[in-house]
Amino acid sequence: MSTPSKPETCTEPAWGNSYRLIASEKWKAKSAAMGKAVTEALVDYAAPKPGMRVLDVATGTGEPAISIAMCVGLDGHVTAVDISTELLEIAKARASDRGLRNFVTQQADVHALPFAENNFDLATSRFGVMFFRDPVLALREMRRVLRPEARACFAAWGPVDQPYWQTTMGIVHKHVGGPLLQPEGPDPFRFSASGSLSRVLREAGFHDVHEETKKVAWTWPGTPEEVWEQAQAVSVPFRPMLERVPPQLWPQIHAEVHAAIGKYVRGQNIEFGASIVLAAGQK
């Protein structure tokens, strides 16, 4: 089992660092399978219609943008945006494999979107809003590029106290102590408290704001060893904590993580389950 490499030194989270990109490519099929229920929940919530022009922000390797492109049809169009050009290349390849001709990618920062006002019929983001540097500014930008009465719809993580996190990062934290996350760093659980994402949507100017917590499947189609390797590689916010692990502790941590994950093994799958927050606002 390889241990995490040192994080890149930069002012922004290293979403496109080489270690994460290798993992994103290596595990893209199984990662997509694990996130399928979250994608489906967000797509159902956003309710894209044929012919819509849709903006997907912080698309990463392409979801829910790819699923939405299949909903809006050839008369519709999806623009998938991310700050990492390398992740966008994976998204583009995945869309190409599906023969999608109504899907484009564009490198961009959500805080300064390179689009005209009143340009999109719907905006989405799956597990991205928690990591916006300035959520109010970012959501105002998303609102700016939406057409009147269009919606922006988001999926965010619920609380840290749930199986996937407790069997992985929770065990590491038990051993090394200190902060689980950097005080001023990216926080996957930033909007886990009820109503917190709604407040930011209203502050950004959205109306008819709605929020709900939903239980969904979060299932890895493989072994505990695989999902733990994937989790270490792609969980950028936890890299500082992982770097605090003394080398001699890794064998014990790996063993405990594998055993904890093993409690959720059902046949050939690992069925964690997940609690997510869905929120939307209208321009």
Considering the domain boundaries, does residue 243 fall inside one? yes
Tell me the β-bridge partners of 166: none
For position 142, what pLDDT does the model report?
Answer: 98
Per DSSP, 5 falls in state: P
3-class secondary-structure state, position 255: helix
Residue 233 has what pLDDT?
84
**Model pLDDT, residue 24:** 58
As for how many domains the chain has, the answer is 1
Each of the 283 residues of the chain gets a pLDDT tens digit; together they read 333 333 332 334 454 444 455 555 677 788 889 999 999 999 999 999 999 999 999 999 899 999 999 999 999 999 999 999 988 998 999 999 999 999 999 999 999 999 999 999 999 999 999 999 999 999 999 999 999 999 999 999 999 999 999 999 999 999 999 999 998 889 999 999 999 999 999 999 999 999 999 999 999 999 999 999 999 988 889 999 999 999 999 999 999 999 999 999 999 999 999 999 999 999 9
Residue 8, in any domain of the structure: no
Burial label, 33 (beta-carbon count in 10 A; 0-12, 13-18, 19+): middle
What pLDDT score does 204 carry?
98
Exposed / middle / buried, residue 170 (Cβ in 10 Å: 0-12, 13-18, 19+):
middle
205 within a domain of the structure (yes/no): yes
With respect to residue 70, please indicate whether it lies within any of the assigned structural domains: yes
Q: Indicate whether 209 belongs to any domain.
A: yes
Asked, for residue 3, whether it belongs to a domain, the answer is no
